[in-house]
Amino acid sequence: MEYSIRLIMVLSGSVTFLTWEIMNRLLGNKMKARWKRNLLLIPLFFYLFPLAYYKSHIVDFYHTLGLFRCWGRVQQLEGKLDKTFSVALRNGNVMLSKSMKTLIILEIIAFLGSLIILLFKMKKYRNVQKNIMSEESGIITDEERKILQQIKEEIKLKINVKCIKICKEESPFASGLRKKIIAMPVGEKLKESNWCSILRHELAHIKHGDMWWGALAVAVVAVHWYNPLNYYYVYKLLCVNEEYADEFAVSNMNRREKVEYCKLLIDLSEKKPEISVLKIGFGKNSKNNIKKRIELIMRKGKSYMIVAMVIGMLMIMAGTFSVFAYEVPLETKDVESNFPIETEEEFIIGEIEVEKIPYDDYFIDEFGREYSIEVQDTMAHCNHSYVKGIRKFHSKKGNGCRIDYYNAKRCKKCGYIVEESFNHTETWEKCPH
């Protein structure tokens, strides 16, 4: 049965994220936020990249390295026309199976849903960016601008960042995909140390590219809006982004400075956000998340780099194996019937063991794998991707037989055989096969 590429992407992304969630719960808060966030970006690739289309190339790469030879044996099942999910082109007409019609309708519904969500999010983002600029009610002082520049140089951030003050009762936040903005409430009177702490936190978001990762997370929801797990994934990504920014901001602080940072976090978290946007705020979290952030700030986390690398490999393996569990949907075309099939058992005359003939008509690829060539009564499928080899056709003539050898190539996806040239013939007066 063929499956929708979209559903394979959902499955692989979800499996990868669940692997992260299980490992995160097992480790608790022992691992640094940096590694947690970086690992949590892996599902984005599986959610948004159609890896299943490149499955055959990945298998070839593994075979070149001598790995996972067993995957070649699975390919022997290919070459059979799946009439449950099929598209046939005959005499200029398109024929769809009932299941394929249903799948196409569902794909259209999913695409329209994705388009509506994307357009809505894009419009909302543009409107909010305009609202932010319209709420600008003051400019930062020269001293504040100097502090901003010093912190940028300290963290080696070369991106142009505009810091503004707004009249809304907001906690400080960073926003903007192309033009980076840090917004501060105009009525908030902050000490220089608090001002530095907030800027470090917001500049950390910009340095880590959190606005862009957040935009990709929104794309995941838009493309796979029907999967409830995606919404939880976006929530976890935003939470871990905040933890990573906190970790970056307090990296050079002593305990007293960390306590002051946590007090500032609590004070600013009480402000209710009035501007909803693709933004990342200093205190933009629930009470439980604020409590967790404070615990992480006051605790000295360990790097666990080796553990993080192992988890990353497990996540990639989980996502890749879920992709390989299904075949890529293929297109079909008319073909003529090939050779007939006769199957006989191998046997030995006297003490002489003859060449093994697993099938009367079969193909041996360059890796030595053997594939039976099926009768194709009506049509074969696909977007062909060929591997070279030899086709052997065994035929009987009276009591004798012959085996014709052809230089040929076989489609790795559907099993369709194309003969390139005749090689040679072997004959027996009495068939020993």
Task: Say how far apart CA 405 and CA 425 lie, in whole Å.
Answer: 6
pLDDT of 160 above 90: no
Contact predicate 247/301, CB 8 Å: yes
Contact predicate 194/297, CB 8 Å: no
Residues 316 and 358 in one domain: no
Q: How far is CA 140 from the centre of its chain?
A: 42
pLDDT of 185 above 80: no
Residues 67 and 159 in one domain: no
Residues 155 and 272 in one domain: yes
Residues 391 and 370 in one domain: yes
* Best mean pLDDT range from 312-326, 364-378, 395-409, 412-426: 395-409
Greater model confidence, 97 or 154: 154
Residues 6 or more apart in contact with residue 232 via CB below 8 angstroms: none
Residues 210 and 165 in one domain: yes
Pseudo-torsion of CA 226, 231, 237, 241, nearest 10°? 130
Supply the pLDDT for residue 350: 38
- Average pLDDT on 255-272 reads 80
In a domain, 118, yes or no: no
List residues bridging with 418 in a β-sheet. Answer: 409
Q: Report how far apart, in Å, the C-alpha atoms of 108 and of each of 6, 112, 329, 330 are.
A: 11, 6, 16, 18
What single-letter amino acid sits at 187?
Answer: G
Residues 340 and 294 in one domain: no
pTM of the complete model = 0.64
Supply the pLDDT for residue 44: 92
pLDDT of 95 above 80: no
In a domain, 281, yes or no: yes
Residues 180 and 251 in one domain: yes
Supply the pLDDT for residue 423: 82
What single-letter amino acid sits at 105?
Answer: I
pLDDT category at 378 given cuts 50, 70, 90 is very low
Residues 143 and 267 in one domain: yes
CA angle in degrees (0–180, nearest 5) for 178-183-185: 165
In a domain, 390, yes or no: yes
pLDDT category at 17 given cuts 50, 70, 90 is very high
pLDDT of 287 above 60: yes
Greater model confidence, 254 or 100: 254
What single-letter amino acid sits at 61?
Answer: F
In a domain, 221, yes or no: no
The closest of 320, 415, 315, 317 to 55, measured between CA atoms, is 320
pLDDT category at 41 given cuts 50, 70, 90 is very high
The closest of 4, 3, 17, 2 to 228, measured between CA atoms, is 17
Residues 86 and 156 in one domain: no
Residues 133 and 278 in one domain: yes
Supply the pLDDT for residue 62: 57
The closest of 273, 285, 271, 268 to 190, measured between CA atoms, is 268
Pick from 83-87, 93-97, 203-207, 373-377: least confident: 83-87
DSSP reduced 3-state for 185: strand
Tell me which residue range forms the domain holding 59.
Answer: 5-112+309-324
- Average pLDDT on 289-315 reads 81
pLDDT of 273 above 90: no
In a domain, 220, yes or no: no
Supply the pLDDT for residue 352: 42
pLDDT of 165 above 80: no
Supply the pLDDT for residue 341: 38
Residues 337 and 320 in one domain: no
Burial of 268: CB neighbours in 10 Å, binned 0-12, 13-18, 19+: buried
Greater model confidence, 52 or 327: 52
pLDDT of 113 above 90: no
Query: Domain total for the chain?
Result: 3
